[in-house]
A and B are shown apart, each in its own frame.
Chain A
Amino acid sequence: MKWRNEQWLRPDLKRYKGLLFWSLVLGMLTFICAGALMFTSGYLIDFSATQPLFAAIYVPVVLTRAFGIGRPVFQYLERLTSHNWVLRITSHMRRKLYRVLESDAAFVSEHHQTGDVLGMLADDIGHIQNLYLRTIFPTVVAGGLTLIATLLLGWFDWGFALWLCVLLLAQIVLVPAWSLVVDKRRKLQQKQLNQTAYVDLTDSVLGLSDWVITHREADFVAQATAAPHALSQSLHASARFEWVRNFVAQLLFGLIPVSLMVWVGQYWTQTAGMANWVGAFVLVIFPLDMAFSGVAQGIGEWPTYKGAVMRLNQLQPTTRTLPKQLPTPQEFQTLTLDHVSFAYSASAPELIHDTSLTLHRGDKVALLGPSGMGKTTLLQLVLGDLTPTTGQVLVDDTPVLAYQEQRNNLFAVLDQSPFLFNTSVKNNVRLGNEAASDAAVAKAIDAVQLTDLIAQLPQGLDTPVAEAGFDFSGGERQRLALARVLLQDAPIVLLDEPTVGLDPITEAALINTMFTVLADKTVLWVTHHLQGVHRTDRVLFLEAGRLTMDGAPQELAKTDARYRRLYALDAGMKG
């Protein structure tokens, strides 16, 4: 990856340049003050030992105090400024990540499901924060200090200044580079092991009932601890390397005061006046240790950060070619599938074969069929999330693809697991129509028969949905989502197995409510069994991408043996 094409670090470095500049300057000032405190103190003591008049030491006394106060003050300001900068950048990065994922919103869970990719991407932004705070800022500050120290010493003795520059560069270039070379593969391996450990342990714990009834305790512990143990070994190897590295780095750093002592012993002892600077030049170096010792550690973390940066850069916004977008009509008469076929690619199997179907306004249609036989694909085609390979989906005479921009005026969807956001009940319902009044929200809640339940909540409609100690059951969540759909007030409602996983009593009640409140809508209902099907006008059976049964439920019950068999099975009669 070229820096020129980098999308996640480069653009942000140009934002809030003032804050960025000041964080770095304040970082340097902190250490300049720390060094200057020891410098002036050393001079003060050496000079005082010559017993001059008090007035002569007045300036070093004042400076000593000023630097003593300056160091903590600058450090405090530096921390605030750098955090402020990083947090501002974070807000931009979050919005950017959201936008990239939003471009593929209809399929975001399908495309990012294994493990928790979404959580991982959110963590990657955290890694970039640390990259700035722990690696980039300290390295730049240490580099700046090296430059300043070299220039100041160069004023007196260029040869010695160069030697000192070499020693300081060893701290910010040589040691970190060594660290990277030795530990890079180990760091990547640790990341891998950490993931393995997570998967293995989750696997073991979720399958615990099977381990328990087989009494394989030793195997269970062995499987669950294998990866953590390897990880611990690897971390131990890293720690061992860090001890050696830090020891060597410190010995190299120790060369600096030793060199300084030799240098002052020769250079600063020519006159008694010059000798007063002996302590100052030796002591100045000790507080700077802190500026350099963190650099190797910070740069050593680069492999971790690099992974995060690479992963974010690999995300590309999804673009789709759609026809010219039209405003949605006020009313519609028919929703037509005209010889629609669909496959994900030319080589992929065809999921929907040449299907034609017409729904009239107000129709209630149930779509049945075994799972994995194309029901959800058909809904995605109707919505326009997918483009048919051949044929088209029409609302009256206009392709549904031309209505994508304002699609929510035409279609509302209630799916298997509607998402409730971690905000109040009211805000969750209002997502359906942000302009809805409180009265309209209350009316929708009432229509889905949640008024009593909401009245029991500590803050009524303003209660956060994830409030500790209170959880909505599956049926209640679906009702909340249904209230959302009611507020949205779109003429066509698509129900994608909303009752899956509910017990039959809850399911029967929810179906009842759905059909009552959606009486004036056009409903296409995907379901996996026959509870409630008699409330529809028409039952479709989709198998292997083809409609194999089509008729009014009462009619099918009379004429279709298979329908009768399934109905009897589901109703719990002798089948």
Chain B
Amino acid sequence: MIDKRLMRLPGMNRVLTMLAGLALVQAFVILFQGKFLAQAIVHAWARKPMAGLWPFIWAFAAAFALRQAITWLRNAMAEHAARRTAGDMQQQLLQHLFALGPATVADEGTGNLVTMALDGIPETQNYIELILNKILNMAIIPWVLLIYIAMQHWLAGLMLLLMFPVIILFMIILGYAARDQSEQQYAGFQLMSNHFIDSLRGLKTLQLMGVSKQYADNVYAVSENYRKQTMSVLRIAMLSSFAMDFFATLSIAVVAVFLGIDLLNGKVPLYPAMVSLILAPEYFMPIREFGSDYHATLNGKNALSAILAVLAKPVAQPSQTGLTVGPWTAESTLSVNQLDFRYGDRQAISDVSLTLHGPQKVAIIGASGSGKSTLLNLLGGFLQPEAGTPFTLNGTALPHLAEPAWQAHLSYIPQTPYIFAASIDANVRFYQPTASAAAVTRAVAAAGLADWVAELPDGLATRIGEGGRGISGGQAQRIALARTLLDEKRDVWLFDEPTAHLDIETEAALKETLVPLFANRLVLFATHRLHWLNEMDWVIVVQAGRIVAQGTPTDLAANSAAYQELVHKMRGEFDEVAE
């Protein structure tokens, strides 16, 4: 019943022991609260003097207040432990995401991970608190009360004892029946809320098709349909808490009747009967509270499992060689020998070998899904092959390139470079937060942004990114470029289809800026746009994860059938017209 994984968390055992001790104390306080109440009632019933009633009332009030105080203390202790544990877990999760790198994170889904780190953590905290409070209550309080009730009236005690497994049994049986249905319902709920948001997001499409007005009734009909389904599920799902309530209240009623009959026959005095009746609801209280929070515990458990699964993913360890990488010069080399890479079951890269040396400009071309991006990610160290030492950097054999010394030379510019929600200045300074204002101005000018920035009322302080000023795709590329230029030691540039979203004139303008900057750098450029090949001195043709041709553009154009075929397909009608 107690999640064993929680017990492995640091400090959890100690907290659990202390809380269990407090729960035990509380059980006795509850017992005394009931006892004094029963004594007060018996006293009043016997019509003894009012003066004699006051001690019982005061004692009851004291026990009542003490019980509430212990609840406060227990909540505070449980919350403290849970908050600390969940906070640590959040920290670990983010560190782990960092270590896993962008390629794995994109694979898991950014939205999914953000939700996990933001909603999953409080759910886990809630789960830990529930375990520490509700389950301990159930494990301790009923049994102290039961022993006392049995000592007063063994039949009432036996009756209550027998009811406990019956309640648990019905909870389980109905729980199973409801679970299948509620899983269906959950799926239905997802479908429903997706359907509704779908209708809102697809409004424009509906309007273009001329059906958006009448679709309003479809929204209503689907929602009503869902309501009917939900109600039929709720009828069963709520039976579980109905059964629990039913047996708990009915057994209180039955105990009351038993006690009444024994009193009638003079078998017991009033006090034992009264105290049993008062404590019976307290006996059932913990299990009822647990039942009402059962679904919250399920959510927390799932959230915890999901977080632990991400934390269990292995991360690349930098090699212990103390690798240093100097500036990329004519003598520098990076060779790749028989590189393989799999995404789960899918072979993404097979038997890739290549050598890069000195300031080369290398194009990587291939159809969509051929493995261009994967290859770039492997060269950037964002993905790591499972086995072997396929990389050799300046003579050092390496199992992967997730090496800080190598990555310190890299710049990676994807199709849509990420623009942080910050000022232009902060975005450009990202690699070099301490750069001088003059250096930023130079980088901005070199990236061709000077005129645009000059027109902005706030200049470099203009906020861009989410919630800031909107910028075009070409400007985003140029900001990423300025970011790279500011950090002069970054002399290995990886581009992943940087111009795919740009219109032809914007692309032409960007190209004019870029090409002169390629000098003296190692450039790896994955692209679909063939005019870039004119600027490259090496071309790698990728097909289904393999390199099918590599060489200088002129050499490939003359001699490689694979290259010729790909270029022909990409040109499409341009060739037809030329012919």
Contacts and interface: CB of A to CB of B under 8 A. Distances in A.
7 contacts: A91-B223, A101-B200, A210-B431, A244-B72, A275-B47, A508-B572, A572-B574
A64 interface: yes
A90 B500 CA distance: 44
Interface in B398-419: 404, 407-408, 410-412, 414, 418
A521 interface: no
A421 interface: yes
Interface in A511-559: 511-512, 528-532, 534-535
B535 to A, nearest CB: 11
B364 interface: no
A37 B249 contact: yes
B199 A98 contact: yes
A15 interface: no
Interface string B55-83: 01100110011001101100110010001
Interface string A112-130: 0011001101100000000
Nearest to B278: A283
Interface in B83-110: 83, 86-87, 90-91, 94-95, 97-99, 101-102, 105, 110
A202 B252 contact: no
A232 B87 contact: yes
- Most interface-central of B69, B98, B110 (chain A CB within 10 A): B98
Interface in A415-439: 415, 418-419, 421-422, 431-432, 434
A71 B97 CA distance: 51
Interface stretch (A139-147, A159-167, A265-273, A394-402): A265-273
A108 interface: yes
Contacts of A266: 50
Contacts of B573: 508, 511-512, 531-532, 534-535
Contacts of A197: 118
A431 B202 CA distance: 12
B60 A261 contact: yes
Contacts of B506: 370-371
A217 B50 contact: no
B59 to A, nearest CB: 11
Contacts of B231: 80, 83-84, 87
Contact of A505 (B265, B473, B507, B570): B570
A575 B531 contact: yes
Contacts of A118: 197, 200-201
A144 B507 CA distance: 71
Given A208-B102, A418-B205, A37 B252 contact: yes
Contact of B213 (A102, A119, A500): A102
B531 A573 contact: yes
Contact of B508 (A72, A80, A88, A569): A569
Contacts of A371: 472-473, 502-503, 506
Contacts of B28: none
Nearest to A271: B47
Contacts of B530: 504, 571-572
Contact of B53 (A261, A286, A419, A534): A261
Interface in A292-330: none
B341 interface: no
Given A106-B204, A209-B382, A257 B250 contact: no
A64 B257 contact: yes
Interface stretch (B38-46, B139-147, B348-356, B437-445): B38-46
B570 A504 contact: yes
Contact of B47 (A84, A272, A509, A534): A272
Interface stretch (A176-184, A220-228, A455-463): A220-228
Nearest to B68: A250
Interface residues of A, number: 158
B161 interface: no
A532 B473 CA distance: 23
A484 to B, nearest CB: 7
Nearest 9 pairs of A and B residues by beta carbon = A508-B572, A408-B210, A572-B530, A68-B253, A528-B503, A41-B256, A105-B207, A72-B245, A48-B263
A539 to B, nearest CB: 13
A566 interface: yes
B465 interface: yes
B44 A269 contact: yes
A49 to B, nearest CB: 4
A254 B252 CA distance: 22
Contact of A94 (B220, B278, B407): B220
A225 B528 contact: no
A49 B256 CA distance: 12
A1 interface: no
A67 interface: yes
B458 interface: no
A118 B202 CA distance: 11
A429 to B, nearest CB: 11
Given A48-B263, A84-B231, A236-B83, 13 more contacts: A42-B277, A46-B270, A49-B263, A49-B273, A79-B234, A214-B430, A224-B117, A246-B71, A261-B53, A279-B277, A484-B209, A566-B504, A566-B508
A54 B264 contact: yes
A61 interface: yes
B216 A61 contact: no
B253 A406 contact: no
A228 B90 contact: yes
Contacts of B199: 98, 421
A239 B79 contact: yes
B424 interface: no
Interface in A264-291: 264-266, 268-269, 272, 275-276, 278-279, 282-283, 286-287
A257 B60 contact: yes
Nearest to A500: B501
B206 interface: yes
A506 interface: yes
Interface stretch (B15-23, B187-195, B323-331): B187-195
Contacts of B83: 232, 236
